[in-house]
Amino acid sequence: MFSTAARALASRSLPRAPSILPPSRSMLTVSRLSPSVAELTLDKAPANTLSLEMALAFSAAVSEIEADPSVTALLLRSSSTKIFSAGLDISEMSGPEPARLADFWRAIQGTYLSLYSSRLATVACIEGHAPAGGCLLSLMADYRIMTGGGPRIGLNETALGIAAPYWLKDMFVETVGRRNAELALLKGTLFTGEEALAVGLVDEVLPLEEVYPRAKEEVLKLARIPAKGRAETKRLLRGAAVDELLAGREADVAWFTEFVLEEGTQKGIKAYLDSLKKK
Ligand SMILES: CCCCC/C=C\C/C=C\CC/C=C/CC(=O)SCCNC(=O)CCNC(=O)[C@H](O)C(C)(C)COP(=O)(O)OP(=O)(O)OC[C@H]1O[C@@H](n2cnc3c(N)ncnc32)[C@H](O)[C@@H]1OP(=O)(O)O
């Protein structure tokens, strides 16, 4: 955890409108791999998309796991071996009610603030596709293990006619380096596991049947690293990025909502949603 003050600030900014449903836990499961290691499984068929409720449930689950002092590490995975997460739920952005759209973006920011700033050692087990917001979820982890061959990972926003928010772009740049990031972001590249490994977007690539066993092995190993030193090191590495979003959270909400509500953007979103449904 970064600091009590930063956490309090983060939670104060979370949506409080009465229209927001309480986080549903049916989209996620939390279990224990060992007394000190939790496993968080995304379980929202068909594509683990991040709707408002899913994003709130995700942050709430991470916060709950963090609140247990006996837990030192977390494995993030999907119940589907085909799709880790297909990213933001595009239907949230199609013909949206403006207040819900703003709450949706605050909740997406909240997923980032909860996991990227986590005191826990975190491993993402990426067995299936992880485009855009799916890549975001995996980038927040400390270590990524992905299936080779079929699934794709990356930030494809540009190819969809949109841009990744600055805090997601920054996390990507931090991970793959400036030049690799420019090349990939400007084209909206989705990488195979092998390509992702070559640019440093993932740390290991394995055949599907080996990904989860290896991810478990790694998270159990990371759980043994002294917790205090690791948490402070993460704060030193990531604190400034997290603080920047905390300070500019509402400006980021305004950027997102204005962009999404524009007529041209709405036409693009509807066409993309229809193309996904017609597949
Ligand atoms: C132009 C749209 C952008 C809108 C944003 C606008 C402005 C925002 C400004 C800044 C924010 C920038 C941040 C954006 C981050 C994002 O995450 S945007 C979302 C990007 N995600 C994608 O492009 C992935 C789309 N999905 C796929 O490519 C494929 O589904 C897949 C992951 C490769 C898996 O393929 P597969 O064949 O196995 O499955 P299906 O395609 O049949 O999907 C199953 C089912 O799920 C529905 N679905 C898939 N993805 C989404 C999604 N992101 N949102 C909503 N619904 C999704 C799909 O329609 C199928 O539904 P069904 O037909 O009813 O079964």
- How far CA 204 is from CA of 48, 147, 160, in Å, comes to 23, 9, 28
- End-to-end alpha carbon distance in the chain: 42
139 tagged catalytic: no
Judge residue 130's burial from the number of C-beta atoms within 10 Å of its C-beta, 0-12 exposed, 13-18 middle, 19 or more buried: buried
Number of structural domains in the chain:
1
For residue 263, the enclosing domain spans: 4-278
Å from CA of 233 to ligand 1 middle = 35
Q: Which two tokens mark 206?
A: 């394995």
* Residues 66-100: tens digit of each pLDDT: 999 999 999 999 999 999 999 999 999 999 999 99
Which ligand 1 atom minimizes the distance to the CA of 132? 17
- The CATH number linked to 227 is 3.90.226.10
Could you tell me the pLDDT band of residue 25, with boundaries at 50, 70 and 90? low
Q: Could you say which of 14, 28, 50, 88 is catalytic?
A: 88
Query: What pLDDT is stored for residue 92 in this prediction?
Result: 97
Could you tell me the pLDDT band of residue 257, with boundaries at 50, 70 and 90? very high
155 tagged catalytic: no
Query: What pLDDT is stored for residue 254 in this prediction?
Result: 97
Query: What pLDDT is stored for residue 161 in this prediction?
Result: 84
User: Is the peptide bond between 96 and the residue preceding it cis, with omega within 30 degrees of 0?
Assistant: no
- Residue at token pair 């989705």: 190
Q: String of b and e for 83-113 (b: at least 16 CB within 10 Å)?
A: bbbbbbbbebbeebeeeebbbbbbbbbbbbb
pTM: 0.91
Query: What pLDDT is stored for residue 208 in this prediction?
Result: 98
Using a CB cutoff of 8 Å and minimum separation of 24, what contacts does 235-240 make?
A: 235/2, 235/3, 235/117, 238/116, 238/117, 239/2, 239/6, 239/117
Q: Could you say which of 157, 168, 193, 218 is catalytic?
A: 157
- Please state the rounded mean pLDDT for residues 219-235: 95
**CA 272 to the chain's CA centroid:** 21
133 tagged catalytic: yes
Which ligand 1 atom minimizes the distance to the CA of 268? 1
64 tagged catalytic: no
Could you tell me the pLDDT band of residue 18, with boundaries at 50, 70 and 90? very low
CB 141 within 8 A of CB 162: no
- Residue at token pair 């948490």: 231
Dist CA 163 CA 202 (whole Å): 22
Query: What pLDDT is stored for residue 160 in this prediction?
Result: 86
The Cα angle at residue 153 between residues 151 and 155, in degrees rounded to 5? 150
Judge residue 70's burial from the number of C-beta atoms within 10 Å of its C-beta, 0-12 exposed, 13-18 middle, 19 or more buried: exposed
Å from CA of 112 to ligand 1 middle = 19
Q: Which two tokens mark 22?
A: 């309480």
Query: What pLDDT is stored for residue 131 in this prediction?
Result: 98
- The residue whose CB lies within 8 Å of the most ligand 1 atoms, and thus the one to mutate among 85, 90, 170, 275, is 90
- How far CA 279 is from CA of 9, 50, 149, 273, 276, in Å, comes to 43, 20, 22, 10, 6
Å from CA of 201 to ligand 1 middle = 21
Q: Could you say which of 133, 134, 188, 193 is catalytic?
A: 133
- How far CA 61 is from CA of 58, 116, 193, 249, in Å, comes to 5, 14, 28, 21
Dist CA 171 CA 29 (whole Å): 26
pLDDT higher for 108 or 158?
108
What is the complex's ipTM, to 2 decimals? 0.95
**What is the number of other CB atoms lying within 10 angstroms of the CB of residue 150?**
12
